[in-house]
Amino acid sequence: MSFFDSPISRCERKRTIVLTDQTQEQCAQEHGCAPGTQCPLCGCFVDVSGVSEETMQALRDNADKR
């Protein structure tokens, strides 16, 4: 049995399941979206790929203190 723990969403434009733990630009490259394409999942992707939410929150908190 396999468990897939990454966040996913369905992209209606490409009619496929995409990983939302990557940046929107990475997803667009992976699925062949043309530059300027209106992404139906805009706002669902991470700001920085490869960084956990906890780490991103800590980075934001540190930036706010400066």
User: Is the residue at 2 inside a domain?
Assistant: no
Residue 66 pLDDT > 80 = no
Q: What confidence tens digit (pLDDT) does each residue in 24-63 have?
A: 999 999 999 999 999 999 999 988 887 777 888 888 888 8
Helix, strand or coil, per DSSP, at residue 11: strand
Q: Tell me whether residue 33 is in a domain.
A: yes
Q: Which residue segment(s) compose the domain that 37 sits in?
A: 8-65
What total of structural domains would you count in the chain? Answer: 1
> Does a structural domain hold residue 16?
yes
In a domain, 31, yes or no: yes
Contact criterion met (CB below 8 Å) for 44 and 12: no
